[in-house]
Structure 1
């Protein structure tokens, strides 16, 4: 009999709150973390979703006695702490960290590469603090990292390598990241508008998220979501441009749904990537239509959180599960008029819904695409 893998706990740290309930309450009210910020001295302000550093430090100091952590590390520690306090860490527990850039800010004004900038060292530092007994696993594959980290946990538990796993995902807004997206001319001039006719680019965001994934259930869980299927496919289209045919995303969704053994009629909700760039949103519309999923209610969370890079996939998965728990689908913020060549059922206002099967997708630079299917139990 095939082992079943579940997500039974999660947490997040974002500009909308330092726990899941605060985030959910803000989302239901339509509040967004996107605002004008100035990150680079000689550049103008731009729209991004950034955590208030003073509030972050205050929250951290209230819950931790330790010092010597970077801003991103504080975000990771805060997101993971409530989970490790409720679930035991054993020799059969995996620790998986998802990020695209990690402590990239440590490189500023440095002539030599600081040890803390290595992703493996970042993961080990967090693991050591909480007393993990196994070697950390780092998942860093552009913007699909958060979704892939869920898949890695599921598949390693299925393979018998571990019995459970703590997955954390995070990135912060930095000069390096902003400069990179500026070089692509990809940053929007206002709050981002996924799938909208007048979209013109992304808002960068920052967050950390954490999830507990296990094959061993107990009676104290408030909820459980079964991870039914997953897939990651690289279409090798371009170093930064999405496929015009949606091949990689289409294949990822098809494979994940095949493993999950569900039909297109059974999918109740899609949490899409929706970056608000011209080509990404168009590619997604094509892929969803190829899978005949165009009638399924769909949203992008980028209008609330911006694009949180390695955190986005896990954070948006958590919000999807909250939607299923509360039986409320959140609208795709800032969407007014469809601006894609093929139709999608984009959610425009809070709507009640019974959600059993969730499809979460992500796409990123280098042609990477990923999908995961979950079932509310």
Structure 2
């Protein structure tokens, strides 16, 4: 019989706040981190969700002695501040995993550099964070485009169930960078205003930055404030296109089907879907098709991209955390900026804050290269 795996603690650092409570309160008030920012020199400003660097540095300096023999990038500061409270509340052992989810890591270190700086390697980033906190095991990196933040939950679950580790600290983060903005802009995928997932007038994404972390264990203590069981997971690649999602939703459909089969629950039992919802034409349509193929069209659904933008490798974990907060507070949050249905298949998109009992959560993600992932969580 497989071990039962639980998420019992989490934290996040975003433009809406540097802990879960501040984020939740901002979301209840409908606040968004998305605003106009000048990111690339001599180019128009873009709508994006950006953490204020001065505020981040001020907060970071309150936590850490600047005389230490460390220098940190913006992304590293975000990751450290996210993980610090969890490390303080839980014990590291020889059987504790450290797993990092990111798509680009310290990509900004490449700017104006004739050679690859050591810090740009994802393995180096993971080792630096692991060494700072004193992890005793070799860090693991999950970097699979925009499904990374969901997959990091699945990787931790499966490694603990396989007996490789007793528990795991997972962390996810990505920063805003000229590289990423330029890449999406070359696809003409950047929205002209705040993004509108699933809306008729949607015209593209907003990029965001954030860090999120969680503690996962097979042996929860009695004094945990909450427990969410990781019931099922799946990742399927439909190999449709290097950047375009499958028009039939095959990969996402299979991911959801497999995750729900492992969880041993039906579509009718799902109480809430935290969808990917990038506000691009083809992604939102593909998701609608996949959800309908799974007969999930009547389940309340939202996308958090209108609040946080698309935080790449951080999105899946951050949005899972907000989903669990929704469950704990028995509150469904609206899909921000949604007005009129813009996909051909029906979806039950949440339009306003509403009370609801949320026991079973489905979190999905899709990304470049045809990757798709899903995880099912149960409030215990």
- TM-score bin, normalised by smaller chain: over 0.9
116, 120, 125: which one pairs with 2:123?
120
- Structure 2: distance between partners of 1:366 and 1:217: 36
Partner-residue secondary structure (3-state), 1:144: helix
Give the corresponding residue for 1:364: 367
Deviation at 1:94, TM superposition (A): 0.2
User: Is the aligned partner of 1:166 residue 2:169?
Assistant: yes
Q: Deviations over 1:122-158 (max 9, x none)?
A: 0000000000000000000000000000000000000
Within a 5 Å distance, the mapping from 1:127-166 to structure 2 comes to: 127-166=130-169
Give the corresponding residue for 2:54: 54
Deviation at 1:217, TM superposition (A): 1.2
Partner-residue secondary structure (3-state), 2:233: strand
340, 347, 350: which one pairs with 1:347?
350
Give the corresponding residue for 1:97: 100
- Structure 1: distance between partners of 2:144 and 2:182: 19
TM-score, normalised to structure 1's length? 1.00
Give the corresponding residue for 1:13: 13
TM-score, normalised to structure 2's length? 0.99
**Gaps in structure 1 of 5+ consecutive residues:** none
182, 186, 192: which one pairs with 2:185?
182
User: Is the aligned partner of 1:240 residue 2:243?
Assistant: yes
User: Is the aligned partner of 1:328 residue 2:325?
Assistant: no
User: Is the aligned partner of 1:2 residue 2:5?
Assistant: no
Q: Deviations over 1:11-47 (max 9, x none)?
A: 0000000000000000000000000000111111110
Partner-residue secondary structure (3-state), 1:360: strand
Q: Deviations over 1:196-220 (max 9, x none)?
A: 0000000000000000000011111
Partner-residue secondary structure (3-state), 1:143: helix
- Structure 2: distance between partners of 1:252 and 1:179: 30
Partner-residue secondary structure (3-state), 2:89: coil
Partner-residue secondary structure (3-state), 1:125: helix
How many residues end up aligned between the 2 structures?
377
Within a 5 Å distance, the mapping from 1:160-309 to structure 2 comes to: 160-309=163-312
Q: Deviations over 1:166-219 (max 9, x none)?
A: 000000000001011011100000000000000000000000000000001111
- Structure 2: distance between partners of 1:122 and 1:170: 11
- Structure 2: distance between partners of 1:26 and 1:211: 20
Give the corresponding residue for 1:42: 42
Deviation at 1:2, TM superposition (A): 2.2
Partner-residue secondary structure (3-state), 1:332: coil
Calculate the aligned-residue CA RMSD, in Å.
0.5
Give the corresponding residue for 1:313: 316
- Structure 1: distance between partners of 2:368 and 2:358: 31
Query: Which of structure 1's runs of 4+ aligned residues deviate more than 6 A?
Result: none
- Structure 2: distance between partners of 1:112 and 1:93: 35
Give the corresponding residue for 1:376: 379
**Gaps in structure 2 of 5+ consecutive residues:** none
